Amino acid sequence: MTKKQRNFWELFGIYTVVVIMFVIILYPLLWALGLSLNSGQGFYSTQIIPENWSLVHYEWLFFNPRSNYLLWYRNTLFVALTVSFLATFIVALTAYAFSRYRFKGRKNGLYAFLLLQMFPVLMAMVALYILLNTIGLLDSLVGLIIIYVGGAIPMNAFLVKGYFDTLPRELDESAKIDGAGHFRIFFQILLPLAKPILAVVALFNFMAPFMDFILPRIVLRSPENFTLALGLFNFVNDQFANNFTRFAAGAILIAVPIALVYLFLQRYLISGLASGATKG
């Protein structure tokens, strides 16, 4: 086999895998979209996109007085934006301290972060429920935010700390010679260079409240405090007699803010990489 033929078959294999993965990912999305455009309530359909498609379910979600969808959407956006900002800021500060300073307990703290990553969140659900009930934050979006932010610190701080370690310490030393303090070094020098990893942390923490069901199920009780995942579950489980077409319409709309935030952070990700390459 010649080199040209070998390259052809290698490219053919790569594109085949890409096409298969694309179909596996795209088919459920198209199926959910087609289900949301079905004017009836049927779960099954002979066509992915119905011939007589309709936006009646989207109209019901936005304008029907019995629908709490917009309220759930607002709650989820509030939780997601707050968690994304607070978690990214606290993680960046924590990672900077572990990366740039040497203090008593630093090594044990890093080991604790590694240890906390090994246990699933489900193991702490009872303790979290008791804690929130004790401090009066059960059935509260604030309590939910605190748990999300606290749970994001161990893994993400260890991740961002590794990124800070790759940034040359000569930057810190040069800034100190020019009279910069620790906070100025952190905010004006290291944070701009760490945009790529911080964008990843912000995106993942923004997505979590949209996707998570178990934690809101344990913490939240009142329908006016529901997030989208919990609201849509009850939406098809008991309130509206398993109307999966409306459920599909609500699920499709969840992707809109996630896609917008991803596109926004992608721009900062590219600029951060270019900035890091120039200043490094």
CA dihedral 10, 15, 17, 18 (to 10 degrees): 140
Residues 39 and 149 in one domain: no
The residue to which tokens 């924590």 are assigned: 94
Residues 68 and 45 in one domain: no
Question: For residues 83 and 247, what is the distance between their CA atoms, to the nearest angstrom?
Answer: 25
Give CA angle at 208 (189, 130), nearest 5°: 110
The pLDDT score that the predictor gives to residue 276 is: 40
Q: Is the sign of the CA dihedral 203, 76, 38, 51 positive or negative?
A: negative
Q: Which amino acid is at 155?
A: M
88: region left, alpha or beta (phi > 0 left; psi from -120 to 50 alpha): alpha
Residues 155 and 212 in one domain: yes
Residues 66 and 16 in one domain: no
Task: Compute CA 27 distance to the chain's CA centroid, rounded to the nearest angstrom.
Answer: 22
Tokens (6 digits) for 267 = 């721009």
Q: Residue 169: in which H helix or E strand, if any? A: none
Residues 48 and 113 in one domain: no
Residues 19 and 67 in one domain: no
- CATH at residue 121: 1.10.3720.10
Residues 206 and 235 in one domain: yes
The pLDDT score that the predictor gives to residue 269 is: 65
Burial zone of 198 (CB within 10 Å; 0-12 exposed, 13-18 middle, 19+ buried): buried
Q: Residue 179: in which H helix or E strand, if any? A: none
The residue to which tokens 């193991």 are assigned: 123
Q: How many domains does the chain have?
A: 2
The pLDDT score that the predictor gives to residue 270 is: 63
> Which of 15, 31, 54 corresponds to the end of one domain?
54
Q: From 153, 125, 151, select the one nearest 217 (Cα to Cα).
A: 125
Residues 50 and 162 in one domain: no
Average pLDDT by stretches of 10, the chain with 280 residues: 80 90 85 82 67 86 88 95 96 92 86 80 84 92 94 88 88 86 87 87 91 91 92 71 79 88 76 43
Question: For residues 70 and 75, what is the distance between their CA atoms, to the nearest angstrom?
Answer: 9
Tokens (6 digits) for 76 = 């989820």
Question: For residues 75 and 101, what is the distance between their CA atoms, to the nearest angstrom?
Answer: 38
Residues 82 and 38 in one domain: no
Residues 196 and 251 in one domain: yes
The pLDDT score that the predictor gives to residue 115 is: 83
Residues 33 and 135 in one domain: no
The pLDDT score that the predictor gives to residue 1 is: 66
Range of the domain at 271: 59-279
